[in-house]
Structure 1
Amino acid sequence: MDVAQLKSDIIAYAHTIGIDSIGFTTADPFDELKQKLIDYHANGYASGFEPTDIEMRTNPKLSMSSARSIIAIAVGYPNRLPNVPKSKRGERRGIFARASWGQDYHSIMRKRLEALGEYIKSRVPEVEMMSMVDTGVLSDRAVAERAGLGYTGRNGFVINPDLGTWTYLGEMLVSIPFPPDDPIMDSCGSCTICVERCPTGALVGDGQLNSQKCVSFLTQTKGYMPDQYRYKIGNRLYGCDTCQQVCPKNRGINTQHDDIVLEPEILKPRLIPLLQMSNKAFKETYGHLAGAWRGKKPIQRNAILALAHFKEKEAVPELKAVAENDARPMIRATAYWAIGQILEDEAEAYILSRYDSEIEEVQIEMKKGLEMRRL
């Protein structure tokens, strides 16, 4: 078997199925990553969403013992929304992060990896393969970097020369010993704009992220939003793109794919209708987005915070309905808090009239609503 020719054929085929960038590396352990992960957890930066077994994360052969190579792929996604609806008084809107625009990227990437796998198997029937997208144990970014798809910037994203940071990443372990590609030797130089513009100071500065402070992570949590971050969320319903939006390497890049369909009214939705949306309606409207993976509770909480951010008085009747009728204490409590933030002193009579009928955890937020001011 001419492995070099097969590699060339795979690259050519990949571009016909919507893979924008492809690279090859060995299945050797990611020794440099191991210490970074140890420090990441020791510093309390972990989000809790990522796998915790560092050996599994850094040794590909623990996932597939026959692995000889890893094929890394990147698919660019759009970052500009056409016909973007305006957010205005009475119709304030939230926003989903760009990685959640269109069909859930896990399914988009799996389809491409499946097609790529079928092609490789048609050429080498005895090949063994294992694909991963985001939820696999390996670090997509570490694999992509070593396979030459880009270098890790200060914002922690892989910066691809053609796609910038606006990419979905995935990889495939294969039992074929392909010639590895060389990593891209580049850097952010003296640029620190992403670190400076991060809303919560979550970027450590060397490509590491303190997930506990990251707005993207915070929007996906299900509990109460910590006080110091409530006004940092802005109108974000899911995720945060600030460190990518300000990156100079992303200028002029806006990759399009036919299977990434943009729906402006869904991706930048009106906030008030979200507050009392049923589970069924939420799944029907947003279930196809990656941003819906945690369910409607975080989205509804974030919508309430966004209304407080906008000081949206027109939303107060709806917020009162949520505060008085929602069965979930955290949602009721956040609604009371938002009413206090929007109406300020005018909210006191209403909140005090409801105070004794509420449980203690809700009462705590009712007090905050009257006492706390924008941080």
Structure 2
Amino acid sequence: MTSPTINYLALAEQIKSWGQSLGFNKVGITNVNLSDHEDNLAKWLANNYHGDMHYMESHGLMRARPAELAPGALRVISVRLDYLPTDAKFAQTLQNKDKAYVSRYALGRDYHKLMRKRLKKLGQQIQDYCAELNYRPFVDSAPILERPLAEKAGLGWVGKHSLLLSKEAGSWFFIGELLVDIPLPCDQPVSENCGKCVACIKICPTNAIVEPYVVDARRCISYLTIELKEAIPLEFRPLMGNRIYGCDDCQLICPWNQYAQLSAEQDFQARHKLDQASLIELFMWNETEFLSNTEGSPIRRIGHQQWLRNIAVALGNADYSNTIVEALNQQLTIASDLVKEHINWALKQQMIKKSEITIAVNERLNARLIRSVEKGLPRDA
């Protein structure tokens, strides 16, 4: 058992100082009690809002019981790490249908290893201070409700889009946890500051936020492009636009993100020009190129086939182009059955748009012809 002579209040302040020295933008501490969230978790699972993410249900209510995950844990040290790149090119990319939109958290290197390594260092520093400490770091890597814990630790509040929000940082940040078995003093939660705002609910392209604070993952573009391994439902394909990996719409519209902090982490800056790459350019990557260009990136986890599937949908949503049709047909000859289905859908969309262009051109020509004829007629005809 840890020595009772330890000044835990002073240690808590030291932990926050160590955390900031390691690059974390904020550190908070809370207990492991999440019993208030068990009913909502059970209801969310019962509604099958987790879709094919079976890992969400495999541990039942353990997600709301951190002490079962790490026996003996008394406190959770929750950390925030800002990731917004210096030149995010939000609207510039989303409004250009020929460009690929990648969720801004995935433009750089995978945050999991970086944060876990730093959390482990933080644990070691605390252990040097009180040798009998047991600790366990988590970064989106275990059945634990991270956002409710961060909310209790005072890092922010859970917004209506279900993401954590902070007055001084918006929502463009990662969170991680260090579970420890020492009785550190707990921080106080901050008040909820969404008020009557429902901008995130209204902006969602697929209406995935089914009610405030509740997201049906099966409708979410992030789920459809990352977690879903099968064919993307037809109803959602036109709504995805050029989003090929994740979606940031609910964050982009949030008023609190005017206070978002740019990340000083070089690892979170865009790699391989993914913030401005064309859809066709990315669509032509073979598997070797995909694996090479996504090494160390969170994108790699979806694999080459899902990558092509997602881009095929985006190409179908782009304006008509002979170049796009040629690229789709070229990939069609070597594509897997999953990708072929989406390429054929995209080709159909391109042909529809070509027909619409033809009709529009003919209508303009006819209107011009009529005007020409009318100008040639006598004024009193």
Residue 151 of structure 1 is matched in structure 2 by: 157
**What is the CA deviation profile of residues 14-47 of structure 1, one whole-angstrom value per residue up to 9, with x for unaligned ones?**
111110111101123x111110111101122114
Residue 299 of structure 1 is matched in structure 2 by: 307
Q: Structure 1 regions of 5+ residues with no counterpart?
A: 348-375
Give me the whole-angstrom Cα distance separating, in 2, the residues matched to 1:234 and 1:331. 17
Residue 188 of structure 1 is matched in structure 2 by: 194
Task: Return closer, same or farther for 1:155/1:345 CA change in 2, 3 Å cut-off.
Answer: closer
Give me the whole-angstrom Cα distance separating, in 2, the residues matched to 1:248 and 1:54. 35
Residue 209 of structure 2 is matched in structure 1 by: 203
Task: Return closer, same or farther for 1:91/1:43 CA change in 2, 3 Å cut-off.
Answer: closer
For the 8 Å contact 2:84–2:263, the answer to whether it is kept is yes
Task: Give the SS at the match of 1:295.
Answer: helix
Task: Give the SS at the match of 1:293.
Answer: helix
Larger deviation, residues 269-278 vs 292-301: 269-278
Give me the whole-angstrom Cα distance separating, in 1, the residues matched to 2:79 and 2:94. 40
Give me the whole-angstrom Cα distance separating, in 2, the residues matched to 1:8 and 1:297. 48
Residue 32 of structure 2 is matched in structure 1 by: 27
Give me the whole-angstrom Cα distance separating, in 1, the residues matched to 2:149 and 2:330. 49
For the 8 Å contact 2:137–2:179, the answer to whether it is kept is yes
Larger deviation, residues 88-97 vs 52-61: 88-97
Aligned-pair CA distance for 1:91: 9.4
Task: Give the SS at the match of 1:325.
Answer: coil
Larger deviation, residues 39-48 vs 16-25: 39-48
Aligned-pair CA distance for 1:222: 2.4
Task: Give the SS at the match of 1:231.
Answer: helix
Task: Give the SS at the match of 2:123.
Answer: helix
Aligned-pair CA distance for 1:230: 0.6
**What is the CA deviation profile of residues 161-190 of structure 1, one whole-angstrom value per residue up to 9, with x for unaligned ones?**
221111101111101110111111223111
Give me the whole-angstrom Cα distance separating, in 2, the residues matched to 1:87 and 1:199. 16
Task: Return closer, same or farther for 1:285/1:149 CA change in 2, 3 Å cut-off.
Answer: same
Give me the whole-angstrom Cα distance separating, in 2, the residues matched to 1:283 and 1:217. 21
Q: Which residue identity is paired with 1:226?
A: P
Residue 42 of structure 1 is matched in structure 2 by: 46
Q: Which residue identity is paired with 1:74?
A: R
2:17 paired with 1:12:
yes
Give me the whole-angstrom Cα distance separating, in 1, the residues matched to 2:91 and 2:280. 15
2:121 paired with 1:115:
yes
Q: Which residue identity is paired with 1:163?
A: A
Give me the whole-angstrom Cα distance separating, in 2, the residues matched to 1:11 and 1:346. 59
For the 8 Å contact 1:18–1:257, the answer to whether it is kept is no
Task: Give the SS at the match of 2:77.
Answer: strand
Task: Give the SS at the match of 1:251.
Answer: helix
Matching of residues 1-375 of structure 1 within 5 Å: 1-28=6-33, 30-49=34-53, 50-52=55-57, 53-78=59-84, 81=87, 92-220=98-226, 221-258=228-265, 259-263=267-271, 265-313=273-321, 314-326=323-335, 328-344=336-352
Identity %: 27
Aligned-pair CA distance for 1:262: 2.3
The alignment yields a C-alpha RMSD, in angstroms, of: 2.3
For the 8 Å contact 1:200–1:213, the answer to whether it is kept is yes
Aligned-pair CA distance for 1:260: 2.2
For the 8 Å contact 2:93–2:101, the answer to whether it is kept is no
Aligned-pair CA distance for 1:228: 0.8
Aligned-pair CA distance for 1:82: 5.8
Aligned-pair CA distance for 1:318: 1.5
**What is the CA deviation profile of residues 311-347 of structure 1, one whole-angstrom value per residue up to 9, with x for unaligned ones?**
3422111111112232x11212221221121123979
Residue 356 of structure 1 is matched in structure 2 by: none
TM-score (norm 2): 0.85
Q: Structure 2 regions of 5+ residues with no counterpart?
A: 1-5, 356-381
Task: Return closer, same or farther for 1:264/1:252 CA change in 2, 3 Å cut-off.
Answer: farther
Task: Give the SS at the match of 1:75.
Answer: strand
For the 8 Å contact 2:160–2:201, the answer to whether it is kept is yes
Task: Return closer, same or farther for 1:45/1:91 CA change in 2, 3 Å cut-off.
Answer: closer
Task: Return closer, same or farther for 1:99/1:346 CA change in 2, 3 Å cut-off.
Answer: closer
Task: Return closer, same or farther for 1:84/1:63 CA change in 2, 3 Å cut-off.
Answer: closer
Give me the whole-angstrom Cα distance separating, in 2, the residues matched to 1:189 and 1:150. 14
For the 8 Å contact 2:81–2:175, the answer to whether it is kept is yes
Aligned-pair CA distance for 1:48: 3.4
Q: Which residue identity is paired with 2:332?
A: A
Give me the whole-angstrom Cα distance separating, in 1, the residues matched to 2:196 and 2:91. 37
Give me the whole-angstrom Cα distance separating, in 1, the residues matched to 2:89 and 2:164. 29
Aligned-pair CA distance for 1:273: 2.9
Give me the whole-angstrom Cα distance separating, in 1, the residues matched to 2:135 and 2:18. 17
Q: Which residue identity is paired with 2:317?
A: H
Higher CA-based Rg: 2
